[in-house]
Structure 1
């Protein structure tokens, strides 16, 4: 049983379904976005339009969920039932998952591919987190400490802040800001 409805969950479930019986459980329906809109790779369009680097993170009060980027194979796999799409189970008891309709099913493995939030509780004593445990920052620059910066946060600055395409750009920006701060001392 793979849990999730995003890229990782769907990709892992579809690959495993080639060699085993696999369920894909999640709270939300799987949404798809084409890998090659208008014949070009999605990353091409994100780069050409500037959306990949647009500083939209400050307008995201809550990070948006992403659709599964698909070249057609994942939608086709789900359409054939390999993996089998299921609603989220309500309980786990040993190796048995229980469904809302009172049905039960034995599973060998549960893979959680649900996305993860950073655990930054160690920063709480510095006063750098909001009430939800997320860093108080603007574009990665800490609002509490001028020499503290964050990189790799979801929608830190742009859509690509958590990706290899964007984290380097955000890190360079943070390093320049900290260097300016240190020069002013």
Structure 2
């Protein structure tokens, strides 16, 4: 994607989402594509969101992505991981408080993460000072297709899949069915 931007506007910096090395009101948009699920403590997520708010220009947009509270349950059903009592215990904790832990570092059971309930993501974004616009389902139920690659590789099926996701992406009753959810907010 860097090729789409003029050379004067491309840069990359490694940093900590809780302490951004940017001036106040200096960016037009903020993409939070990871910090909110890798920061497992709520206070750290709020700090990261407040930092995003601080550097964002008035009227700018923030796109804050979380992993759905229900992702490991659905993934476990799909891949048969719920046959493993160890994974069942992980899922039970996910559903209680969103704190996903993989104590034995099983390669298929993801890493230490926080999983949001859709309303929880909204509440955190608002607490950080943003004006919440909407929450979107990124994959929608499409990620559970057993033949996803077949749907994606055939243009007509891909179009129908994307259209179905658009129909459902804001439906509150099924937001959590998507593996990832995104809060769209404005400063």
Q: Does the pair score TM above 0.5?
A: no
Structure (1 or 2) with the greater strand fraction: 2
> Which structure features the higher share of helix residues?
2
Higher CA-based Rg: 1
**TM-score, normalization by structure 2:** 0.24
